[in-house]
Amino acid sequence: MTTTKKKLVLIGNGMAGVRAIEHLLKLSPEGYDITIFGSEPHPNYNRIMLSSVLVGGADLQEIVINDWEWYRENNITLHTGHKITKIDTDRKKVISHQGIEAAYDTLIIATGSNPFMLPLPGADKEGVIGFRDIKDCEIMMDTAKKYKKAVVIGGGLLGLEAARGLLHLGMEVHVVHIHNHLMDRQLDEAASRMLQRDLEAQGMQFLLNKHTAAIKGKRRATGLAFTDGTEVDGDLVVMAVGIRPNVELARAAGIEVNRGIVINDFMQTSVPDIYAVGECAEHRGISYGLVAPLYEQGAVMIKHLVGVETAGYAGSVTSTKLKVSGVNVFSAGRFADTPGTRALKIQDDLAGTYKKIVIQDGKLVGAVLFGDTADGAELFASIKSGESIAGREKEILLGISSDLLGQSSSGNSRLESMSDDEIICGCNGVSKGDIGDAVLNKGCNTVGAIKACTKASASCGGCKPLVEGLLHLYAGDAVGETVKEGICGCTTHSRDEIVAEITRMNLNSTKEVMNVLGWSNPEGCTKCRPALNYYLGMINPEEYVDEKESRITNERFHGNIQKDGTYSVVPRIYGGVTSPADLKRIAEVAEKYDVPMVKFTGGQRLDLLGVKKEDLPKMWADLDMPSGHAYGKTLRTVKTCVGSTFCRFGTQDAIGMGIKLEKAFEGLNAPAKVKLAVSGCPRNCAEATIKDFGVVAIDGGWELHVGGNGGVKVRETDLLCIVKTEDEVMEWSSAFLQLYRENAQWNERTAQWIERVGLEYVKKGLENPEDRLALKSRIDKTLSLTTDPWKQIVETDELRKNFEQLNSAQPVQL
């Protein structure tokens, strides 16, 4: 007998609602036909990580929690870009603004919240936004390309994350806060002042005790006017002053609403068969805006829904962690000094650390950490457990004891007492049960393996101590050995250690490096051999003999291997400028070798696709053109627009500058591929602001941009400086590329390198003219020793034979 599935509709495709659906699929995988409506055009993503997207630490794909395939695999009907306009409680159906109707037996409302927009004069102007979703991030990124001043209203958690992202985008940022210290809902004044000092050092500017009277400007915002008569300029105004539960849909349906949708301990609303969960809901007078309580609500709701016995939801103790680069802040529970509480504090202004714990009736009820937040997860666990810490207060203040970690002789008592539904990693919604499953059923016996399997500790890292504790709890003696991570599995040495030892001991071959530094695999691997070959050549370009056998396959064969085993050949076309004679030669060679396809590349060159490996030496000889190195860890292309040569908007000779750069750096070995571009005016037709080094012509000079990437992880460049002459362009580009060559890790693009070391590191390394000239001298020396390997290969029969010998050797695969 076939049982008819019940119909479940979820309004809201966000973190809280979809997390509840994940629980439902575990407890009752065949019990419901599930339909989800989401107002955004995206699958379920991690809203917590939006600030990381803004600062370039993650791209949009990386913050997706459940991709499109997940919905298909679980037979979930998903309607993205659909806003529900009506809940018909009598007919038990919902209707979207596009006319889609869905009947339900059970309805879950997870509509989240909206950013609170202050009802200020001018709040409807262009350039005034909240900071809530992907669209807001995109607006900020687009605005930063055209404008340079931003104002963030709100000095709380969200406002500071938005401000740091705007700083990263190159904007001048003022943060306006109504109170006299930042994050006043999470930090006491001492910790707040330390936070302000660190953020000011990063370039943030603060206007405290300020009440905004109006937003200036006509059609577009131009700044703020304050009630005290002062003003601040800003082309972008971001309001981050709080959130409001999104309850209008529920109110219109006759569901009881206060500040949020009123729910009981099982997330039931006032209307039968309708539940609410997440930021839109109000439980015992509280609407939670943090993810961990919302996950806890969802777990209780689903258990109740499918008939699994569970205690009702009784509310949550919350914690917060600021996700701002270079600043560590943690707060949990009640941090204020109130009657009946006692506080213990340690403040070290030299080290930049602060720690405060708040105690009431012998129990830990709150904590604030600044600078060193390693104890945050354990303190939070102690607050939630409600255990007595009488007699251990100073011990806890000075450092977490083994008992507090839950690893006492009594046997991991606290970790054992946690329920499987308790969230360990709030950023990624990983529960204790998820970690237990990874260890017990999936063979994860290290923290790294758990991270790869579940994403626990993969974001902010604050939960790592708890993950380690659970690993020991579940794995016992089977815990894997923690090994220092080197550049690959053959060694525990880091890039910096290897470069230092090569320099100190004057090592001259990859074999020598592996032997002296104690490689576990004496032959090395496909990760370390190309890296060592590059480091050796970078350190000693005059004496080191390039090891062709340590090159990746494409560099050995001087072509890009394709999925069918053929290769593509890309001749060098400087700056995208060619001639009829070169075009004719390329056409004749393509016909001679029966090339299946000739295609223009994104870098303004011609790609001959489908070439047989054995034809490569003869083809290059017939072309008699330099290789475009479309396969190498080297300069790929310098893309140009026509600039002032033809374009009526051009302010400088972009073609000439591009060709000059391409000829200067042709064949330069680098840690990863390098792409350049030159745009003849700020319209930026050559897309210079997504290249490793981009040059944009302006009236009377050139903007120099660095660290861009237009690939899978799109990253806009940072403005390095503005110069006046072409000679200065060459000087700065040479110095930048050599600084990158000498300091980046193997296979690390300039975008990732700058994100790791910081733009200020790059600026500091180049600000001194003597340092720039020294860097330029070193890169010029390297370039003077660089020859096009294809010129060698096609010149003599002997070198042609060498190429054939290379073909028969074992290549390093990509």
Q: Where in 209-325 does DSSP place strands (E)? A: 212-216, 223-226, 231-233, 236-239, 243-245, 261-263, 274-276, 281-283, 319-321
Place of tokens 């309001």: 239
Known binder of ligand: residue 137? no
What is the C-alpha to C-alpha distance for residues 4 and 391, in angstroms, rounded to an integer?
60
Known binder of ligand: residue 681? yes
For 666-720, where are the alpha helices, taking DSSP H only?
Answer: none
The structure tokens listed for 340 are 């009946």
By the 8 A CB rule, do 238 and 162 touch? Answer: yes
Radius of gyration of the chain (CA): 30
Distances (CA, A) of 71 to 15, 29, 44, 80, 776: 14, 13, 10, 12, 54
Known binder of ligand: residue 444? no
The structure tokens listed for 175 are 């943060």
Element (H, E) at 368: strand 363-370
The structure tokens listed for 104 are 């339900």
Burial of 406 (0-12, 13-18, 19+ CB in 10 A): buried
By the 8 A CB rule, do 275 and 107 touch? Answer: yes
The structure tokens listed for 130 are 């909240």
Torsion sign, CA atoms 183, 186, 189, 193: negative
Q: How many residues does the chain have?
A: 814
By the 8 A CB rule, do 99 and 88 touch? Answer: no
By the 8 A CB rule, do 360 and 389 touch? Answer: no
What is the C-alpha to C-alpha distance for residues 289 and 279, in angstroms, rounded to an integer?
6
What is the C-alpha to C-alpha distance for residues 455 and 442, in angstroms, rounded to an integer?
14
By the 8 A CB rule, do 268 and 261 touch? Answer: no
What is the C-alpha to C-alpha distance for residues 197 and 259, in angstroms, rounded to an integer?
36
By the 8 A CB rule, do 424 and 431 touch? Answer: yes
Residues that constitute the known binding site for siroheme? 685
Residues that constitute the known binding site? 641, 647, 681, 685
Residues that constitute the known binding site for [4Fe-4S] cluster? 641, 647, 681, 685
